[in-house]
C-alpha cells in the first residue's frame, strides 16, 4: 500500500492505486481494484473509508476515448458490428460536442462490457474481443493510456 496526498484538499489516500484529480469536476478518480476501499483523512483529522466503486468517474468524452489502447480504438472505429458502430457514433457525437460522460452509468458500463465479450468484426485471427476483459476496470476508471 502507498499513501498519496490529495493536494489542495488536505487529505491523504491509502491504496495500491494512485488517484487522479479531475480539475474540471474537482473530484478524485481512481481505479476500482477488485472493489478495494481506500481511506481518506480530511483536514480535521477525521478518517473515513470510501469504497473505490463509489468514486464517480465523470470525464470528458475526448479524454475517455484515450483510455482505449490504440489497437482497441482502431478496432472500435473500424467495426462492422452494429452495436459497436452505435457505441462509437454516440461517443463521437459527445466528443464533437465537447461533452462529458459518467462511466458509472449503465449504458457506458454495458457498452464496454459488450466490447469485452464479442469478437471483432471484421474478424481477426485468432478471434479476439475489441477490449480484453482485464482492461475493463481501467477503462471505466478513466485511466488514460
Q: Are residues 10 and 52 in the same domain?
A: yes
In a domain, residue 145? The reply is no
In this structure, of 34-43, 84-93, 95-104, 113-122, the range with the lowest mean pLDDT score is 34-43
Q: Alpha carbon 40 to chain centroid distance?
A: 21
Looking at residue 68, the DSSP 8-state letter turns out to be S
8 A C-beta contact, residue 136 and residue 112: yes
Half-sphere exposure of 31 (CA within 13 A, CB side): 15
Q: Are residues 80 and 133 in the same domain?
A: yes
Q: Are residues 67 and 28 in the same domain?
A: no
pLDDT higher than threshold 50 for residue 10:
no
Full residue range of the structural domain in which residue 105 is found: 59-140
How many domains does the structure of the chain reveal?
2
Q: Are residues 32 and 75 in the same domain?
A: no
pLDDT band at 119 (very low <50, low <70, confident <90, very high): very high
Please choose, from the candidates 7, 3, 9, the residue with its C-alpha nearest in 3D space to the C-alpha of residue 38: 3
Q: Are residues 11 and 47 in the same domain?
A: yes
Rounded Cα gap, residues 1 and 44, in angstroms = 23
pLDDT band at 18 (very low <50, low <70, confident <90, very high): low
Q: What is the tens place of the pLDDT at every residue in 25-71?
A: 445 555 444 444 444 444 444 444 444 444 557 788 998 998 899 99
Kindly report the length of the chain.
145
**CB proximity list for 43: less than 8 A, separation 6 or greater:** 9, 10, 11
Cell triple for residue 21?
484529480
Report the pLDDT value the prediction gives residue 137, as an integer from 0 to 100: 81
Domain edge (last residue) among 10, 29, 56: 56
Q: Are residues 136 and 85 in the same domain?
A: yes
In a domain, residue 120? The reply is yes
Q: Are residues 45 and 67 in the same domain?
A: no
Amino acid at each position: 500500500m502507498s499513501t498519496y496526498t490529495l493536494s489542495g484538499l488536505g487529505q491523504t489516500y491509502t491504496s495500491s492505486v494512485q488517484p487522479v484529480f479531475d480539475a474540471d469536476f474537482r473530484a478524485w478518480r481512481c481505479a476500482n481494484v477488485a472493489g478495494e476501499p481506500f481511506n481518506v483523512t480530511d483536514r480535521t483529522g477525521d478518517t473515513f473509508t470510501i469504497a473505490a466503486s463509489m468514486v464517480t468517474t465523470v470525464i470528458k468524452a475526448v479524454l475517455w476515448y484515450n483510455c482505449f489502447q490504440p489497437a482497441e480504438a482502431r478496432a472500435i472505429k473500424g467495426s462492422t458490428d452494429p452495436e459497436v458502430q452505435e457505441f462509437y457514433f454516440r461517443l463521437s457525437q459527445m466528443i464533437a460536442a465537447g461533452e462529458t460522460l459518467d462511466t458509472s452509468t449503465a449504458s457506458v458500463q454495458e457498452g464496454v462490457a459488450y466490447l469485452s465479450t464479442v469478437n471483432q468484426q471484421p474478424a481477426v485471427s485468432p478471434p479476439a474481443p475489441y477490449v480484453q476483459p482485464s482492461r475493463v476496470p481501467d477503462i471505466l476508471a478513466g485511466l488514460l493510456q
